[in-house]
Amino acid sequence: MVLSRPASESDLSVLSTSASRYVRDSLPRYKMPESSIPKEAAYQIIHDELLLDCKPKLNLASFVTTLMEPECDKLVMESINKNYVDMDEYPVTTELHNRCVNMIARLFHTPLGESEDAIGVGTVGSSEAIMLAGLAFKRKWQNKRKAEGKPFDKPNIVTGANVQVCWEKFARYFEVELKEVNVREGYYVMDPAKAVEMVDENTICVAAILGSTYNGEFEDVKLLNDLLLEKNKQTGWDTPIHVDAASGGFIAPFIYPELEWDFRLPLVKSINVSGHKYGLVYAGIGWNIWRSKDDLPEELIFHIKYLGAEQSTFTLNFSKGSSQIIAQYYQLIRLGQEGYKNIMENCHENAMVLKEGLEKTGRFEILSKDDGVPVVAFSLKNKKGGHDEFVVSEMLRRFGWIVPAYPMPAGAQHVIVLRVVIRAEFSRTLAERLVHDITTVLHELDKLPPKVTSEVEENGNNGVVSKRKSDLETQREVTTLWKNYVIAQKEIKRQKVMAS
């Protein structure tokens, strides 16, 4: 009589991952487990939990590319194990990096000879690129001040209050004062005239934004350059400009070629751009380009020999994947100027479709500009029943859309906006669908009862203002207290049972 051997738990996990013990019990969350688990179970558990993330294509809060061609995906996976810093071991990858730097530099009209190499570096994003640019400005300013026998301990940068948080990080991390020009209602970017007024002898640079993260608007870099040239002439200073083109650097050259914002302007000394935004590459890759070798102090460049050959490096981190660099080169040669132009024009047209659809509702004020990054920023004209932009944002999540709501920067913080970023992978059909779903949300808002607000009363005798809770707030508070009391009593009872 032959007895069959029962399958082990390990066998069962391979044959039916969904029925194995590894998915029946909760895995440790904050402590590494003692035992291994089968690869199929590990994959399935993580895969299933990740399903709770939103769909990247419907994340309209982000500027970051979420879709590339299969051929590019294949190149990414083929190079995912290459460490870019090992330049001697991966010379072709290094060559592709240098080609990208030169292509982007010439796209920005860097004054180079036909066979002259551009000065630039690939980074993990525009945040690192901005840190490097800021360090170069700071060191160059300090060197000049030292040579003149003047104090060099109080550097500052002039920006608009609408800058991305990475500028605040640079200022705090590297001890540079950030002098911000407040925006105002109806004008949500840096005013060049006010920025130049704030410039003093300690200003290491003025940072202009080509594509504000708040509403996609381009700042007037040419006017800033002209005003700053005049001030430099009057004062004898040589205050330069850095252009943060994280969002707009791969847009302006293709659909606004006559716009002067780049190295055509003499005071623009460096430009950063995000390859993982409208450069059409997955996160994270950024680039910083300098006008000339003189604008990058030599003492910031490190020369290392322990990776097989002497090589130069100027980065905040050391190891970095090669995949995104290779993907950037793929996109540049695959699409060419023709392809980028078509994609950016399509993004702009889809933004106009969304804008026109929102205007037809009669319920929104559009705060973005037609010219700029394809972003549509809008706010409610009338917040019926106290239902504001944050409520609209929350209700759109039900349809799968991630549309952020946020206040404008200092000077216009009372203005709340919703913002939709139109990326290359966002189709006309999706734009029309979004308008439909926003319209549905508006109809639902009209049917909701007004928000309950607390009544405020003032004591006329001593001027003390007190807040009186509404009946609904009082009811909720009592319910919460009672619920907490019941839970506490159950816990006491459970502990007594366990103790006995």
Mean pLDDT, residues 235-242 = 97
Predicted pLDDT of residue 429? 95
Q: Which tokens in the block code for residue 218? A: 């381009």
CB count within 10 Å of CB 262 equals 22
Predicted pLDDT of residue 86? 83
- For residues 202 and 318, the model is more confident at 202
Which residue, chain included where needed, has tokens 């549905």? 440
Predicted pLDDT of residue 8? 52
- For residues 317 and 298, the model is more confident at 298
pTM, entire model: 0.85
What is the DSSP code (8-state) at residue 316? Answer: S
Mean pLDDT, residues 28-37 = 87
Q: How far apart are CA 445 and CA 385, in angstroms?
A: 9
Predicted pLDDT of residue 481? 59
Q: How far apart are CA 350 and CA 357, in angstroms?
A: 11
Specify which of 53-57, 199-203, 316-320 reaches the highest per-range mean pLDDT: 199-203
Residue 459: pLDDT band by 50, 70, 90 thresholds? very low
Whether 18 shows a pLDDT value over 80: the answer reads no
Residue 453: pLDDT band by 50, 70, 90 thresholds? low
Residue 310: pLDDT band by 50, 70, 90 thresholds? low
Mean pLDDT, residues 256-276 = 98
Whether 118 shows a pLDDT value over 90: the answer reads yes
CB-neighbour burial class of residue 216 (10 A; exposed 0-12, middle 13-18, buried 19+): buried
Which residue, chain included where needed, has tokens 């026998």? 149
CB count within 10 Å of CB 439 equals 15
Whether 320 shows a pLDDT value over 90: the answer reads no
Task: Compute the radius of gyration of the chain from its Cα atoms.
Answer: 28
Predicted pLDDT of residue 17? 65
The phi, psi pair for 286, rounded to 5°, reads -135, 170
Mean pLDDT, residues 464-493 = 59
Q: What percent of the chain has pLDDT over 70?
A: 85
Whether 233 shows a pLDDT value over 80: the answer reads yes
Predicted pLDDT of residue 457? 43
Report the DSSP beta bridge partners of residue 378.
Answer: 366, 418
Tell which phi-psi region holds residue 203, choosing left (phi > 0), alpha (psi between -120 and 50) or beta: beta
Whether 463 shows a pLDDT value over 70: the answer reads no
Residue 460: pLDDT band by 50, 70, 90 thresholds? very low
Whether the link from the prior residue into 284 is cis, omega within 30° of 0, is: yes
Predicted pLDDT of residue 41? 85
Amino acid 114 reads E
